[in-house]
Amino acid sequence: MISRTWIIARRELLSFAVGPVTWVTMAAALALAAWIAGPRALAASGGDLSGFTVQSCGIWLGMQMYLAPVLSMRLLSEERRSGTFEALVTAPVSDVEVVVGKFFAAWIVHAVGASIVAVWPLVGVPFGGSPDPGQMFSAWLGLVGTGSVFIAAGTFASSLTSSQMLAGFLAMAFCLLLRFLPAAALAALTEEHVLSRALARANLEAQILDAARGLVDVVNVATQAAMTAALLLFATRTLESRRWQ
Amino acid sequence: MIEVDGLVKRYGGFTALHGISFAVRGGSVTAFLGLNGAGKSTTLRVLSCFLPPTSGTVTVAGHDAVRASEAVRREIGYLPESVPLHPEMKVGEYLRFRARLKGVAATEVSAAVSQAASRCKVDDVVAAPIGSLSKGYRQRVGIADAIVHRPKVLILDEPTSGLDPAQRLQVRALVKELGSDRTVFVSTHIIPEVEATCDDIVVIHRGRIVASGPLASMARGGGVRIIFEKASLPNADLRDDGRSQAVFASAELASSAAAAVVKQGGTLHELAPVREGLEAAFSRLTTGADA
How do residues A106-151 score in pLDDT, each as one tens digit? 999 999 888 888 887 777 777 767 778 888 899 899 999 999 999 9
CB contact under 8 A, B51 and A245: yes
3-state secondary structure chain A: CHHHHHHHHHHHHHHHHHCHHHHHHHHHHHHHHHHHCCHHHHHHCCCCHHHHHHHHHHHHHHHHHHHHHHHHCCCCHHHHHHCHHHHHHCCCCCHHHHHHHHHHHHHHHHHHHHHHHHCHHHHHHHHCCCCCHHHHHHHHHHHHHHHHHHHHHHHHHHHHCCCHHHHHHHHHHHHHHHHHHHHHHHHHCCCCCCCHHHHHHCCHHHHHHHHHCCCCCHHHHHHHHHHHHHHHHHHHHHHHHHHHC
pLDDT of residue A86: 92
Question: Is the distance from CB of A72 to CB of A155 less than 8 angstroms?
Answer: yes
- Work out the pLDDT band at A54, boundaries 50, 70, 90: confident
Per-position b or e across A76-101, b if 16+ CB within 10 A of its CB: bbbbbebbbbbbbbbbbbbbbbbbbb
ipTM of model: 0.82
> A72 CA to chain B: closest CA distance, Å?
18
pLDDT of residue A1: 61
CB contact under 8 A, A11 and B50: no
Which residues of chain B are within 8 Å of residue A85 when distances are taken between CB atoms? 84
| Global pTM value | 0.82
* Rounded Cα gap, residues B200 and B216, in angstroms: 8
Selecting from A7, A14, A88 the residue whose C-beta is nearest the C-beta of B100 gives: A7
Q: Which of B50, B26, B116, B81 is nearest to A92 (CA)?
A: B50
Q: Which of A33, A26, A35 is nearest to A61 (CA)?
A: A33
> B273 CA to chain A: closest CA distance, Å?
46
Alpha-helical regions (H) of chain B: 40-47, 69-75, 91-101, 109-119, 135-147, 165-178, 191-197, 215-218, 251-263, 278-286
Judge whether residue A199 has pLDDT over 90.
no
Question: Is the distance from CB of A131 to CB of A211 less than 8 angstroms?
Answer: no
> A77 CA to chain B: closest CA distance, Å?
14
Chain A CA closest to residue B148 = A91
* Rounded Cα gap, residues B120 and B118, in angstroms: 5
Residue A144 is part of which domain span? 2-242
Amino acid code (one letter) for A71: L
β-bridge pairing B183-188 and B29-33: parallel
Instruction: Encode pLDDT of A80-97 as tens digits.
Output: 999 899 999 999 999 999
Question: Is the distance from CB of A101 to CB of A187 less than 8 angstroms?
Answer: no
> A71 CA to chain B: closest CA distance, Å?
17
Task: Point out the residues of chain B with pLDDT beneath 70.
Answer: 219-222, 275-276, 288-291
Burial level of B88, CB count in 10 A (0-12/13-18/19+)?
middle
* Rounded Cα gap, residues B32 and B189, in angstroms: 8
* Rounded Cα gap, residues A171 and A64, in angstroms: 11
Helices A95-118, A218-240: crossing angle, 10 deg rounding: 140
B:4-63 residues touching chain A, CB 8 A cutoff = 11-12, 45, 48-52
Total residues found in chain B within this entry? 291
A229, A230, A235, A240 alpha-carbon torsion, rounded to 10°: 100
pLDDT of residue B48: 93
* Rounded Cα gap, residues A55 and A42, in angstroms: 10
What average pLDDT is seen over chain A? 86
CA dihedral for B30, B36, B40, B44, sign (positive or negative): positive
C-alpha to C-alpha distances, A203 to A197, A208, A213, A228, nearest whole angstrom: 10, 9, 16, 14
Which residues of chain B are within 8 Å of residue A245 when distances are taken between CB atoms? 11-12, 51
Q: Three-state SS for B70?
A: helix
* Rounded Cα gap, residues A31 and B200, in angstroms: 64
pLDDT of residue A118: 82
CB contact under 8 A, A84 and B86: yes
Q: Which of A215, A173, A171, A192 is nearest to A71 (CA)?
A: A171
Give me the phi and psi of B76, to 5 degrees please.
-110, 155
Instruction: Encode pLDDT of B121-139 as tens digits.
Output: 888 999 999 999 988 889 8
Burial level of A132, CB count in 10 A (0-12/13-18/19+)?
middle
Which residues of chain B are within 8 Å of residue A94 when distances are taken between CB atoms? 70
CA dihedral for A18, A22, A28, A31, sign (positive or negative): negative
Q: How many domains does chain A have?
A: 1
Helices A218-240, A204-212: crossing angle, 10 deg rounding: 140
Q: Three-state SS for B22?
A: strand
Question: Is the distance from CB of B31 to CB of B201 less than 8 angstroms?
Answer: yes
Question: Is the distance from CB of B102 to CB of A92 less than 8 angstroms?
Answer: yes
Q: Three-state SS for B45?
A: helix
CB contact under 8 A, A92 and B102: yes
pLDDT of residue B289: 45
Q: Cα B111 from chain centroid?
A: 30
Amino acid code (one letter) for B45: R
B19: left (phi over 0), alpha (psi -120 to 50) or beta: left
Instruction: Encode pLDDT of A204-244 as tens digits.
Output: 888 888 888 888 889 999 999 999 999 999 999 999 887 66
Which residues of chain A are within 8 Å of residue B48 when distances are taken between CB atoms? 90
Instruction: Encode pLDDT of B273-290 as tens digits.
Output: 776 677 777 777 777 544
Selecting from B78, B85, B88 the residue whose C-beta is nearest the C-beta of A90 gives: B78
Give me the phi and psi of B69, to 5 degrees please.
-55, -45
CB contact under 8 A, A83 and B82: yes
Q: Which of A55-64, A171-180, B59-68, B83-92 has the lowest mean pLDDT?
A: A55-64
Chain pair A-B, CB pairs under 8 angstroms:
62
Mean pLDDT of A63-79: 91
Burial level of A40, CB count in 10 A (0-12/13-18/19+)?
exposed
Selecting from B12, B52, B86 the residue whose C-beta is nearest the C-beta of A243 gives: B52
pLDDT of residue A52: 78
* Rounded Cα gap, residues A132 and A136, in angstroms: 6
Judge whether residue A197 has pLDDT over 60.
yes
